[in-house]
Chains A and B, each alone.
Chain A
């Protein structure tokens, strides 16, 4: 009975996910695409739960839905893409995209159908998913991921600093000229003060 429910849930989530993904790539309003993308990512969190990866489902919602989609909405707003309706892609471009996507899908499904996936490492899923992940990430033995974890934190720091540097306001000539204006006024006042001092 539980299997039936879970399988039904899988098919419902899969159908929703594929439909929302199609909406992401075909809608002409870019802000709606961001909202549909949020739906796809929420469905993926559901898939992770079905696969027994609870921690990953939580991270998916926290980072993807809470962070990345918000950043994408910011990007849409800051580039003023909200007002303009994206024009329909040309027929040649559409045809090329259809051929490439369908070719990839057919090739992939044919490959997967002829491959048999054997279980390499037998055993049940660890009961405490989060604890197992944490031990693995901080393990610096040959089976652990301590070094990639640290490299990843450096990557995130570099991306943050790079993002700030690239997107900040670069000083233009007229802007610096305006900024120097009060400084000159200060110098004048100072000069005036010195003359008064000299006068007295």
Chain B
């Protein structure tokens, strides 16, 4: 397939899905390597964002007559907002007591 042929056809469902799984695995990498809790929250946003992209992609390529996938995506955005509010409140309260948000030092329940 030549270079111009790639651009001649519109991206199909598989292109979009590979893009969103790429973003999702980058988010997984972030969750596993970050030490700062706020950084982990940002990686979670990447995951949620790629999931909502997936909903819209399936809406367009599997059931184009309705808008159900877009509504699911709206719900994902609203739940992400709620999640960030609660997460930020927890981290601020945690910082007041422990003076750090490093998740490797959160071993209060280990012993």
Contact = CB atoms under 8 A, between A and B. Distances in A.
B95 A101 contact: no
Contact of A34 (B8, B42, B61): B42
Nearest to B61: A117
A60 B77 contact: yes
Contact of A89 (B19, B33, B56): B33
Determine the main DSSP class of A at the interface with B.
Answer: helix
B29 A25 contact: yes
Interface residues of B, number: 76
A52 interface: yes
A31 to B, nearest CB: 10
B25 A105 contact: yes
A87 B62 contact: no
Contact of A7 (B10, B18, B82): B10
A71 B36 CA distance: 16
Contact of A25 (B15, B26, B65, B95): B26
Contacts of A68: 45, 80-81, 84
Interface residues of A, number: 89
Interface of A: 3-4, 6-8, 10-11, 14, 17-18, 21-22, 24-25, 30, 33-34, 37, 40-41, 44, 47-48, 51-53, 55-56, 59-60, 63-64, 67-68, 71-72, 74-76, 78-81, 86-87, 89, 93-94, 96-98, 100-102, 104-105, 108-109, 112-113, 117-126, 129, 132-133, 136-137, 145, 148, 152, 155-156, 158-160, 162-167
